[in-house]
A and B are shown apart, each in its own frame.
Chain A
Amino acid sequence: MDSIFRAMFIYFFLLIVLRIAGNRTLNEMTTFDFVLILILGDSSQQAITSNDYSVINAVIVISTLIFLDMTLAFLKFKFGFLERLIDGSPLMLINQGKILKKAMAREKINEADILESARKIHGIEHMEQIKYAILEKDGEITVIPR
């Protein structure tokens, strides 16, 4: 029973911490983020399994995490506010070619980040060529050219 509560606690704790970190953390993988993810994974594993290395414990922990994930997915589908709370909402960064500086500052995104996404997907070279840029829930920046 311990493992169930530990897995639940770590799941919700990581959910909250990553939500606080912002959408961009999920997508942007710098060397620092990579190290952070490794440490997060290792610490979570120790916290969840403790000294219990049995197969049955692994089964229980995996079942708990998948069950929570499926339940949350269902609840998010049923209740829109829960989806906005957990996953956030898409955020407009460029609207009709106009840069929304405040929104970008909130998400710690600069023009170089938007241009990088635009370059990768559309081969765009200049900000003037962008009509819309949207920060999606998964941290990806969608760019719609003029």
Chain B
Amino acid sequence: MTKLEIKEPLLSENSPYWLIQKIGYGCLLLILVAGFFGLTGNGYFGVKKVTNEKRTLNLDYDPIIRSHADTYVTLSSAPINASVLKLSVTSASFKNTILKKIVPAPNKEDKSDGNLNFYFSVANPSQPVSIQLWYEPQKAGKTVTNMSVNDKEALTYQQIILP
């Protein structure tokens, strides 16, 4: 303690503000931790994998996504032993969504029975197939999507769309 200092009691009109500041600092830290672990979507640790019962279909997806932000799901299928792969997804899930791109690009697409169908030609039917769907949700909420390949193998996944 120098001769310029005095022992002052730390009672001030600012005390409540200092307390709020400390709590706020903790809240900011919590938001960052939540963001880091994927609780606010687009997190590396948040990516989930679902597989159908026969283990012929795999889907990598983010269970929490954000509206007005690009996101994608990756579907991997075991060899289908056919020259054409038909991928069907629930069209209701893509009602408020902009479908940005599909990799590889489908040869044909149509709608039937509440599904969006995409047709891909398969060069080597004995090889596994991987398809990526890129999209941008436009509305916050929750979606449950059914995905099937050649009307046989199917799986369901659920996504929460944050604002």
Contact = CB atoms under 8 A, between A and B. Distances in A.
A60 B44 contact: no
Contact of B66 (A52, A63, A67, A70): A52
A59 B31 contact: yes
A3 interface: yes
A64 B32 contact: yes
B40 A66 contact: no
A-side interface mostly? helix
A52 B70 contact: yes
A32 interface: no
Interface of A: 1-4, 51-57, 59-60, 63-64, 66-67, 70
7 contacts: A1-B35, A1-B37, A3-B35, A4-B35, A52-B70, A64-B35, A67-B28
Interface in B37-64: 37-38, 40-45
A63 B42 contact: no
Contacts of B25: 67, 70
A59 to B, nearest CB: 7
A55 B44 CA distance: 19
B80 interface: no
B32 A60 contact: yes
A57 B163 CA distance: 9
A63 B24 CA distance: 10
B96 to A, nearest CB: 14
A56 B32 contact: no
B88 to A, nearest CB: 28
Given A1-B35, A3-B35, A56-B162, A66 B28 contact: yes
Interface in B1-44: 25, 28-29, 31-32, 35-38, 40-44
A57 B136 CA distance: 14
A54 B137 CA distance: 10
A66 B45 CA distance: 24
Contact of A1 (B36, B68, B69): B36
A22 B72 CA distance: 44
A51 B35 CA distance: 17
